[in-house]
């Protein structure tokens, strides 16, 4: 069984390498990248630029918004869509999973319950998603902010009429949703580390199954409405790479999750080939922390920034993602 699995993985890797050689490598820069007329970015809090508002002068962080110096903002500028243009469409929102974006496309999987999903997403995000989907915002759920720095997102119109589409999803499916449920479970079992880890790993497995099942469905649906756009897929990095179980441990147990991200990135490469997209590798990213004691985190909660664990890229991280994307986009003709 193990022997056959090893052969299968070797075959998949060989296929990816062969197809990768057949795909042109553009290696554009911000100075010579192809110019686009309309750019739509699909993503979660990573693409939204969570945390950059604390380090960027006049920084912003809103959902469905062009947040300053986030990698989509940098890409939009590079491809000729300056701030003040309504041709950047930010379909980016914290906590969103692949299945949630399918719901926003009106292609929710069978059995998907948005009321249940909203318990994870949060009521404020639920109202924002509803406002975007219905194109009505009677309660002012979305802070659209300065009209020169954003636009009113329209999912179908954005996907249909953009000549450049970016996708960055998966973190919440595989890591944050399992982590949030595990934190609740930790209280139920009085911090029993064995039970907590088993629960967390089982939820990560479920998240991987969900991601593998629905990510290609999302790509297929996008290609149905827009067969011609250039589409780039931002891969996944390991947000837990510096996590140890106890303070002083020499081995960061979080590095084991490289197996998860590596496998999902391999599949994303294959889907990129199948759906005529471009895969962007960001595995060099690391969360903006020196380390995290898992036991302390479970007792105090996994808080972002102020709590000492930030799974999101720093400004330098966003700059790296921008560079990686530009290297994959065509040069000006």
Most confident of 170-174, 235-239, 245-249, 276-280: 276-280
Average pLDDT, the chain: 83
Check whether 153 has a pLDDT greater than 80: no
**Residue 7: what pLDDT?**
47
Q: Whats the size of the chain, residue-wise?
A: 333
* Lowest mean pLDDT, pick from 59-63, 116-120, 191-195, 241-245: 241-245
Q: Which of 175, 138, 141 is nearest to 45 (CA)?
A: 175
Helix (H) or strand (E) run with residue 233 in it: strand 230-234
**Residue 213: what pLDDT?**
97
**Residue 141: what pLDDT?**
74
Which of the pair, 179 or 250, is modelled with greater confidence?
179
162 — pLDDT class (breaks 50, 70, 90):
very high
Check whether 253 has a pLDDT greater than 80: no
Question: Rounded mean pLDDT of 218-234?
Answer: 98
Of the chain, the percentage scoring pLDDT greater than 90 comes to: 47
The pLDDT tens digits of the residues spanning 273-283 come to 999 999 999 99
- Order of all β-strands in the sheet with 230-234: 88-92, 39-43, 164-168, 230-234, 278-280
Check whether 207 has a pLDDT greater than 80: yes
Neighbouring C-alpha atoms within 13 Å toward the C-beta of 106: 9
Q: How far apart are CA 137 and CA 145, in angstroms?
A: 14
Check whether 308 has a pLDDT greater than 50: no
What angle, rounded to 10 degrees, do the helices at 2-22 and 258-274 form? 50
**Residue 134: what pLDDT?**
83
Question: Rounded mean pLDDT of 8-23?
Answer: 47
Place of tokens 């469409």: 89
Question: Rounded mean pLDDT of 138-153?
Answer: 66
What is the chain's percent helix, strand, coil content, to nearest 5?
50, 10, 40
Check whether 318 has a pLDDT greater than 50: yes
């Amino acid at each position: 069984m193990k022997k056959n699995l090893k052969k299968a993985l070797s075959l998949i890797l060989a296929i990816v390498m062969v197809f990768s050689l057949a795909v042109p490598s553009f290696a554009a820069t911000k100075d010579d990248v192809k110019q686009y007329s309309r750019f739509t970015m699909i993503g979660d809090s990573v693409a939204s630029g969570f945390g950059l508002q604390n380090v960027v002068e006049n920084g912003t962080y809103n959902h469905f918004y062009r947040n300053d110096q986030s990698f989509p903002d940098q890409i939009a500028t590079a491809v000729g869509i300056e701030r003040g243009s309504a041709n950047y469409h930010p379909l980016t929102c914290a906590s969103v999973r692949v299945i949630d974006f399918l719901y926003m496309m009106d292609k929710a999987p069978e059995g998907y319950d948005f009321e249940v999903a909203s318990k994870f997403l949060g009521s404020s995000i639920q109202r924002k998603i509803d406002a975007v989907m219905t194109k009505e915002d009677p309660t002012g759920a979305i802070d659209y902010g300065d009209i020169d720095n954003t636009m009113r997102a329209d999912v179908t119109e954005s996907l249909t009429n953009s000549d450049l589409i970016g996708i960055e999803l998966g973190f919440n499916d595989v890591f944050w949703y399992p982590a949030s449920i595990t934190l609740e479970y930790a209280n139920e079992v009085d911090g029993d580390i064995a039970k907590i880890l088993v629960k967390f790993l089982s939820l990560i497995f479920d998240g991987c199954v969900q991601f593998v099942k629905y990510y290609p469905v999302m790509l297929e649906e996008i290609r149905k409405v827009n067969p011609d756009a250039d589409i780039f897929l931002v891969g996944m990095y390991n947000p837990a790479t510096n996590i140890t179980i106890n303070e002083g441990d020499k081995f960061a147990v979080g590095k084991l999750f490289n197996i998860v991200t590596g496998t999902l990135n391999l599949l994303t490469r294959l889907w990129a080939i199948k759906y005529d997209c471009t895969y962007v590798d960001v595995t060099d990213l690391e969360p903006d922390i020196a380390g995290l004691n898992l036991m302390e985190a479970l007792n105090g909660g996994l808080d972002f920034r102020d709590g000492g664990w930030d799974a999101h890229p720093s400004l330098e991280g966003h700059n790296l993602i921008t560079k990686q994307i530009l290297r994959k986009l065509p040069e000006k003709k």
